[in-house]
Amino acid sequence: MRRNTNSGVRSVMTSDHDHRHGTTSMTRLDLDCPRECLPLQDWSASLVTHSGQCLLVRPVRDDDRGRLERFLRHVSAEDRRFRFLGETSVCRADQLAAMIDVDHVSTEHFIGCLPHSDSIIASALVTADRDHGVAGVAILIDRRHKNRGFGFALLAHVARFARAHGYKRLISVESAHNSGALAVEQDMGFAVTPMPGGRSLVLVEAEL
């Protein structure tokens, strides 16, 4: 599987459709997704973590480029390696472009800030395969703000977004060594399946 700036999510959407499930069983995610969560609404939100901390989330804008560059400098080298499947440079032009140049239809990028701040501390890039009803997500958190529940809250927001847009499954491609992200995803109810090819990658997926 070739590496790309979307964590390989798009490249496995079709292939995972062909070899899915095996011995893996999934349960539908338990999400609060009320009727007013319509596809065309503004998906900006004020999210509250389990510990009571607030994360202000909105879709990315063209003028976020500088803020994203600063954000990526505060993502750990390990997380960059997991996110970009081996690439550890602080910020490549193609990586930044993939985070900015979204169409808000087949791709969306949610960024998260603390109240009273415009500094980005969290990122969730969403890619979609409407033909197979699958949405993929890749999340990054500023290393100074990890272990505060922001990743869990942002993943739940993405799941609501994907469900409201008619997608049936949400997936992520992770390194098998990324224990932090896998713990968050499994706590939410995602199933984890080894990817073929022996590259220590796993497919994380849940029904919506």
Residue 157: how many other CB atoms lie within 10 Å: 19
Residue 4 belongs to a domain: no
Residue whose tokens read 């609404």: 41
Contact 73, 87 (CB under 8 A): no
CATH code for position 52: 3.40.630.30
Whole domain around residue 123: which residue ranges?
Answer: 9-19+42-207
Residue 28 belongs to a domain: no
pTM exceeds 0.85 for this model: no
CB-count exposure of residue 138 (10 Å: 0-12, 13-18, 19+):
buried
Residues 97-144 have pLDDT tens digits of: 889 999 988 899 999 999 999 999 999 999 999 889 999 999 999 999
Residue 143 belongs to a domain: yes
Residues 46-82 have pLDDT tens digits of: 999 988 999 999 999 999 999 999 999 999 888 887 7
Residue 53 belongs to a domain: yes
Residue 75 belongs to a domain: yes
Residue 29 belongs to a domain: no
Residue 31 belongs to a domain: no
CB-count exposure of residue 137 (10 Å: 0-12, 13-18, 19+):
buried
Query: How many domains are contained in the chain?
Result: 1
Residue 37 belongs to a domain: no
What mean pLDDT, rounded, does the chain reach? 83
